């Protein structure tokens, strides 16, 4: 990521309303970004083959391959070792959070009711200095916002 190049983001999400909300929230924060979209797990891997993004936001409940399966495959592939994966999902039970944590997601964001709330959570993700390396918080700091 450089100042003159947009931050490349893939959002893996099958719900079109959630994609639209994500786009609006992204516009509310100071991030120069290019957003690519995968509506299912199979399409996600096609996009990853084309270009590894700066960030992947990954829903759990998707067709073809769910987010948990995708995360496990991603973390087994060394090409993606430096790609932050942030789970963005309505599945916010302790079990899902702990599974994502053990599978080496970088953060976990529960879907929220407003664009402003989502923008605040996205801003927290982008506030970290990812150029210094991958960030793997402790479990008590893994969830951004409340789950």
pLDDT score of 1: 46
Residue 138, both tokens: 């402790």
Q: pLDDT tens-digit profile of 68-107?
A: 999 999 999 999 999 999 999 999 899 999 999 999 999 9
Mean pLDDT of the chain: 94
> What element of type H or E holds 144?
strand 143-144
Burial class of 131 by CB neighbour count within 10 A (0 to 12, 13 to 18, 19+): exposed
Res 14 pLDDT > 50: yes
The pLDDT, as a whole number, for residue 103 is 96
Buried b (16+ CB within 10 A) or exposed e, 87-120: bbbebbeeebbebbbebebbbbbbbbeebebbbb
Q: Specify the range with the lowest mean pLDDT, choosing from 15-19, 62-66, 71-75, 84-88.
A: 62-66
């Amino acid at each position: 990521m450089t100042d003159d190049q947009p931050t490349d983001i893939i959002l893996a999400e099958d719900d079109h309303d959630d994609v639209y909300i994500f786009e609006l929230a992204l516009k509310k924060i100071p991030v120069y970004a290019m957003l690519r979209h995968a509506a299912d797990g199979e399409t996600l891997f096609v996009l990853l083959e084309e270009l590894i993004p700066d960030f992947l936001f990954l829903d759990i409940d998707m067709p073809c391959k769910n987010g948990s399966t995708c995360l496990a495959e991603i973390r087994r592939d060394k090409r993606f070792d430096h790609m932050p994966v942030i789970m963005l999902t309505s599945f916010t039970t302790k079990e899902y959070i702990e599974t994502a944590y053990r599978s080496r997601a970088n953060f976990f964001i529960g879907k929220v009711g407003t664009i402003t709330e989502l923008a605040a959570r996205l801003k927290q993700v982008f506030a970290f200095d990812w150029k210094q390396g991958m960030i793997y918080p402790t479990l008590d700091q893994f969830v951004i916002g409340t789950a």
